[in-house]
Amino acid sequence: MPASSGGGRVGTASRAGRFRRGHHAGLPTLWRDTFTALAFAATATERVELWSSVTNVVTRQPIGLASSVRTVAELCGDRFRLGIGAADSSAFLTGRCPATTGELRSGIALVTDLLRGAEGKIGDHAVTLQDPSGPVPVYLAAEGPRNTALAVEVADGVMTTFRDVDRKAERIAAAYAKSGRTSPFRHIVVSFVKITDDPAREARELKPRIVKTVQAEGARLFEEAGFDIRVPSKPILLPDGTDIGHPRDMDEAIRVASQWVPDEAAVWYAGQIGLFGTPREIVAGIERLAGLGVAALHMTDGGSFDLPDALIEQFGAEVLPLLRAGCSP
């Protein structure tokens, strides 16, 4: 199973060396959500896949998105993958709502039509893309049944988070069988990964994510596990203006989130949404995902504004050798 690493925002000019670091560490894929950075990565690497993880059709108009995708695809050929979703913080920070399933369907259709050279419609206007790149694999971020079914209908694969991955794998299999589709369909899992002998210490960084989860989905998951977590209903911005779920200052985000989230809840949640443990424990988790039919693992250290240099180097030095030695399918 291929593994990749993503996350973080730093000066664009400094990224090329860091992309090369992942390239030389042996990771087959690097994920970014900024098309300028993807262009730098395309020129700095030769083998790795490059992904947007994820962009959207809310803050990016489909015709502009198609043009950006075409440009990156020109630079890296068949190595680019378009990860796309409904939009989260990018939507509410710009005063918009996440895309509905219908808006996702029409937006993806327009982007893919333009990329393959077909005519698209924007209102009453017919548009085409100059020098289209040809088809680019599309992966839809989906957690619920409607967007999972949409992914099977219009995309090359689906991206889900690690939580409840067994149930999600079953849902994907059922949607695929119901659709009558015969072409391949890939399940990509996005997971927090912390290579550590002290998971409790690392789990504290999940507290801001727990706040976002409870705001979006309610507290039932935590109540069933014995935790009473009550958070404000409105989006929480930190003093520097960033969303608590995508903080620039992680220590501040943890401090704010700790008002509502105890350490014990963070430790429990770590086991639900990611791979936290020693290198061999990480390998065991990857083996389990492979057994569920997961095609690839997207790793994140949880950071939003710093590239995961330490994770790339540690995974390359401590986990990849075990995988290459045959510890995983």
In the predicted model, is pLDDT for residue 46 greater than 80? yes
Give the pLDDT band of residue 23 (cuts 50, 70, 90).
low
Residues 116, 84: contact at Cβ < 8 Å?
no
Instruction: For the chain, give the number of residues.
Output: 329
What is the rounded (10 degree) CA torsion for 73, 77, 78, 84?
-10
138 forms bridges with which residues in the sheet?
A: 82
* Lowest model confidence (mean pLDDT) among 45-54, 278-287, 305-314: 305-314
CA proximity to 227, closest of 251, 199, 207: 207
> In the prediction, which pLDDT does 327 show?
57
Residue 24, number of CB atoms within 10 A of its CB: 11
As a whole number, mean pLDDT of residues 214-231 equals: 95
Q: How far apart are the first and last CA of the chain?
A: 7
Integer Cα distance of 194 and 182 in angstroms: 37
Residue keyed to tokens 């067994």:
166
pLDDT tens readout for residues 168-201: 999 999 999 999 999 999 999 999 999 999 998 9
Fill in the DSSP letter of residue 55: E
Q: Which of 108, 12, 22 is nearest to 63 (CA)?
A: 108
Nearest alpha-carbon partner for 258 in 270, 248, 266, 249: 266
The values of phi and psi at residue 320, to 5°, are: -55, -40
For strand 125-127 and strand 120-122, is the pairing parallel, antiparallel, or unpaired?
antiparallel
* Strand-strand pairing, 125-127 and 138-141: unpaired
Q: How confident is the model at residue 215 (pLDDT cuts 50, 70, 90)?
A: very high
pLDDT, position 29: 53
Band of pLDDT at residue 304, cut at 50, 70 and 90 = confident
Task: Specify the pTM.
Answer: 0.83
Q: Encoding tokens for residue 192?
A: 């927090």
Return mean pLDDT, the chain: 89
Q: Is 235 exposed, middle or buried (0-12, 13-18, 19+ CB in 10 A)?
A: middle
CA distance linking residue 43 with residue 49, whole number of Å: 12
The pLDDT of 3-22, averaged and rounded, is: 54
Question: Are the C-beta atoms of residues 319 and 279 closer than 8 Å to each other?
Answer: yes
